[in-house]
Structure 1
Amino acid sequence: MSGFFTGLWNSVFQPGTTPQLIIATHVSFVALLLTLAWLIYATSGNIHFIALFFIAALLWLAIIWFIEELKSVKLKTNDELAKDDESREDKDDKKQTEKKEETVKESSASASATPSKTLKSRKV
């Protein structure tokens, strides 16, 4: 049993879902729904507990769907993420260099296109 809790604790630090995390999720929702069902029975069908029961059931279904979607997606490792960041930074550096070059070209072209005006001083 302690192996389960150790695996559950370690799953917090791993990307994606682990079997321990999925089991803990299902057990938690079963306990929640059983508690709400008992409260519905004990309060003779209080509408608030009925609403909470259905909200919890729908949330559980949404989480099951999300877990299935995570299984179908390939998660990247930390090394792959680091490589993507480096390549993105390289691309950004190249774009900034190109923009600076274009700005320099435009400013030199506009400077040569406009005639220079000489100011004459007036004597008063």
Structure 2
Amino acid sequence: FFNDLWDSIFTPGTTPTLVRATHYSFAALLITLVVLCITTYNKHFYFLTAIAGCLWATLTWFIGELDKMKEEMAKQNAPVTEEVDVIDREETTEEP
């Protein structure tokens, strides 16, 4: 896991290992903040917990949007199907 994580730092874009590490880090942060909320009853920890939860949700949404964009780019770069190719040939071979 750690070797893949180190390699993903130098790889452009998101990798599954980097996404997993991000989720683990935020889970550990939220667990720590919830424990601090329970043990101290400090309002600052409640706000920090809410901020960290919103940040985690935002990052998860952003990673999902990046995945959607990768899929759209893959569809745009996909090879042309034979049916479309046949239709194009028929249109170009017809004479007026």
| 1:55 aligned partner | 51
| 1:9 aligned partner | 6
**Amino acid paired to 2:61:** W
Question: Whole-Å Cα distance in 2 between the matches of residues 55 and 72 of structure 1?
Answer: 26
- Quick one: which of 22, 27, 43 aligns to 1:30? 27
Normalising by the residue count of structure 2, what TM-score does the alignment of the two structures yield? 0.70
Q: Which runs of 5+ in 2 are unaligned?
A: 74-96
Normalising by the residue count of structure 1, what TM-score does the alignment of the two structures yield? 0.55
Larger radius of gyration between Structure 1 and Structure 2: 1
Aligned-residue offset at 1:10: 0.7
Aligned residues: 71
More helix by share: 2
Q: Which runs of 5+ in 1 are unaligned?
A: 77-124
Question: Whole-Å Cα distance in 2 between the matches of residues 41 and 72 of structure 1?
Answer: 38
Identity of aligned residues (%): 54
Aligned Cα RMSD in Å? 1.3
**What secondary structure sits across from 1:73 in the alignment?**
helix
Aligned-residue offset at 1:35: 0.3
- Quick one: which of 62, 66, 77 aligns to 1:66? 62
Moved over 6 A (4+): none
Question: Whole-Å Cα distance in 2 between the matches of residues 11 and 68 of structure 1?
Answer: 18
Aligned ranges 1:1-124 → 2 under 5 Å: 4-43=1-40, 45-74=41-70
Aligned-residue offset at 1:39: 0.4
Aligned-residue offset at 1:15: 1.6
